[in-house]
Amino acid sequence: MSLSKEEVLHIAKLARLTLTDAELEKYARQLSGILEYVDKLKEVDVAGVEPTAQVTGLDNVWRNDAVVGCDDETRSKIVENFPEKEGDLLKVKAVF
């Protein structure tokens, strides 16, 4: 399965990545190589086989939908990590 540069650009956009021209070429080549390897999955007869999303066999694990709160120290450490802030508020570029 060979990927075109256009396809790689499309994937990069979905993944919120930008690539240089050199990277575009390199990734097109490398991703195609990996996809070629995983193509061997096509050899397997999967008719009627249920997909496995998780291996624990667990069903829904519930908890109460209740506010637990956060201690001040943890809260201040989280705020400290904000790359840009105004007071205690996280500052970002406008969405629109």
Partner 1 sequence: MKLNELTIAAAHEGLAAKKFSCRELVAACFDEIRAHDGKVHAFLEVFDEEALARADEVDKKIGRKDSIGLLEGIPLAIKDNILIRGHIASAGSKILENHSAAYDATVISKLRSAGAIFIGRTNMDEFAMGGSTETSAYQKTGNPHDPTRVPGGSSGGSAAAVAGNMCIAALGTDTGGSIRQPAALCGVVGLKPTYGRVSRYGMMAMAASLNQIGPIARSVADARTLFHAIAGRDPLDAVTVDKPLDESFNHPVTLKSLRVGIPKEYFIPGMDPEIERAVRALGNKLGKAGCEVKEVSLPHAAYGLAVYYVVMPAEISADMARYDGIRYGVRHEARDLIGTYENSRSLGLGDEVRRRIMLGTYALSSGYYDAYYKRAMQVRTLVKKDFDDVFRSVDVLLTPTTPNVAWKLGEKFDDPVTMYLEDIFTVSANVAGVPAISVPCGMKNGLPIGAQFIAPQLGEEKLFTIASSV
Residues of this chain that interact with partner 1 (CB under 8 A) are 3, 7-8, 11-12, 14-19, 27, 30-31, 33-35, 37-38, 40-44, 46, 49-56, 58, 61, 63, 74, 77-78, 80-84, 90, 92-95
Q: How far is the CB of 21 from partner 1 (least distance, A)?
A: 14
60's tokens: 């829904």
Closer Cβ to partner 1, 21 or 42, answer by number: 42
Q: Strand, helix or coil at 50?
A: coil
CB of 24 to partner 1, least distance (A): 11
Instruction: Count other C-beta atoms under 10 Å from residue 8's C-beta.
Output: 22
Decide: 34 and 8 in contact? Cβ < 8 Å. no
Using the minimum distance from each CB to partner 1, give the nearer residue, 40 or 86. Answer: 40
DSSP state, residue 88: T
Torsion angle defined by CA atoms of residues 48, 54, 56 and 58, in that order, rounded to the nearest 10 degrees: -90
CB closer to partner 1 out of 21 and 56: 56
